[in-house]
């Protein structure tokens, strides 16, 4: 009963972690400017940016960028390093890994519901749940790094102008919330894996006694079968065999007993040789 409850909690956490992280990954509202103030920056996500007259610092041509664009658009070729500094590219890479880990963890835990894939993948149930928990815990750790680095570097005025007029928006919040679900789901699945491991160890500990009992039963059955075969086998009697009936022995054995107990015949005396001077009369 406890294992079912833990599995359901872990499954819900894994699904929520993936859904939240995927929305955060695809949405353009990680960092946003207050709508009540005028700012050359509107909002930005991992792959989408909206600008309202933003100009690159120390740009000799003073080109102004207006509108929403894909962040790798050719429109931003000249200012790609300004919009996507090194730390921002690292955030993109870590978020991609996190989405992949959350998706893999969700698929592995959902596969357990299907009988045929479960028999192939979950031969060692405890180990698979522990592997799944490791995936979610690694995802939670990556989210921790992402949230820490992005929150710290977004306050840098050299990236987006007037950081005091900007704030971390709901896409960033979804990413952080995804990390909480991943961490909690990973801990639950780790406990579930330990429970299954303990069950397997108990089953292995009970196995030798069961095997010995089965071996003893097999030996007793074999001895009983041998006795039954001996009792059912036909008997052959020779001249000195055990009698077939209780009252009279077989004739060959009786004759042998008579000959065995007959007294030996008397030995005839040898005639003595006559002495010298004596006659036979």
Q: Is residue 63 part of a domain?
A: no
Q: Is residue 64 part of a domain?
A: no
Q: Is residue 272 part of a domain?
A: no
Our count of domains for the chain comes to: 1
What CATH number does residue 125 fall under? 1.20.140.150
The pLDDT value given to residue 263? 59
- pLDDT tens sequence across 60-72: 777 788 888 898 8
Distance of CA 124 to the CA centre of its chain: 4
The pLDDT value given to residue 281? 43
Q: Is residue 135 part of a domain?
A: yes
Residue 91's nearest CA partner among 71, 110, 117 is 71
Range of the domain at 120: 2-33+85-207
- pLDDT tens sequence across 143-158: 999 999 999 998 887 8
Q: Is residue 217 part of a domain?
A: no
Question: Can you list the alpha helix ranges (DSSP code H) found in the chain?
Answer: 2-26, 80-83, 86-111, 115-121, 125-153, 170-232, 251-261
d(CA 216, CA 92): 65
Six token digits for residue 91: 């955030």
Who has greater pLDDT, 69 or 54? 69
- pLDDT tens sequence across 103-116: 999 999 999 888 88
Question: What's the pTM value of the predicted model, to 2 decimals?
Answer: 0.68
Q: Is residue 187 part of a domain?
A: yes
Q: Is residue 132 part of a domain?
A: yes
Residue 129's nearest CA partner among 188, 171, 181 is 188
Cβ contacts of 144-151, under 8 Å, gap ≥ 24: 144/179, 145/94, 146/91, 146/94, 146/95, 146/98, 146/175, 147/172, 147/175, 147/176, 147/179, 149/87, 149/90, 149/91, 150/30, 150/31, 150/91
Beta bridge partners of 32: 43, 167
Q: Give the side-chain half-sphere CA count within 13 A for 176.
A: 12
Q: Is residue 100 part of a domain?
A: yes
Classify strands 48-55 and 31-33 as parallel, antiparallel or unpaired: unpaired
């Amino acid at each position: 009963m406890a294992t079912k409850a833990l599995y359901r909690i872990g499954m819900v956490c894994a699904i929520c972690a993936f859904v939240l992280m995927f929305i955060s990954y695809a949405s353009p509202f990680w960092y946003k400017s207050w709508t009540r103030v005028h700012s050359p920056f509107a909002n930005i996500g991992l792959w989408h940016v909206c600008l309202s007259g933003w100009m690159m610092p120390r740009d000799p041509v003073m080109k102004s960028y207006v509108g929403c664009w894909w962040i790798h658009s050719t429109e931003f070729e000249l200012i790609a390093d300004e919009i996507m500094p090194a730390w921002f590219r690292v955030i993109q890479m870590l978020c991609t890994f996190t989405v992949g880990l959350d998706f893999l963890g969700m698929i592995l835990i959902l596969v357990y519901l299907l009988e045929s894939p479960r028999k192939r993948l979950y031969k060692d149930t405890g180990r698979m749940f522990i592997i799944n928990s490791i995936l979610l815990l690694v995802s939670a750790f990556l989210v921790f790094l992402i949230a820490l680095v992005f929150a710290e570097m977004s306050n840098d005025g050299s990236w987006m102008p007037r950081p005091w007029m900007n704030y971390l928006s709901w896409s960033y919040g979804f990413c952080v919330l995804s990390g909480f679900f991943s961490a909690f789901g990973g801990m639950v699945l780790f406990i579930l894996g330990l429970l299954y491991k303990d069950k397997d160890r108990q089953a292995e500990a009970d196995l030798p006694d069961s095997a010995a009992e089965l071996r003893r039963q097999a030996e007793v059955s074999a001895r009983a079968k041998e006795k039954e075969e001996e009792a059912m086998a036909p008997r052959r009697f020779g001249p000195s065999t055990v009698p077939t009936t209780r009252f009279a022995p077989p004739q060959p054995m009786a004759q042998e007993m008579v000959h065995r107990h007959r007294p030996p015949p008397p030995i005839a005396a040898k005639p003595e040789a006559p002495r010298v001077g004596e006659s036979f009369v």
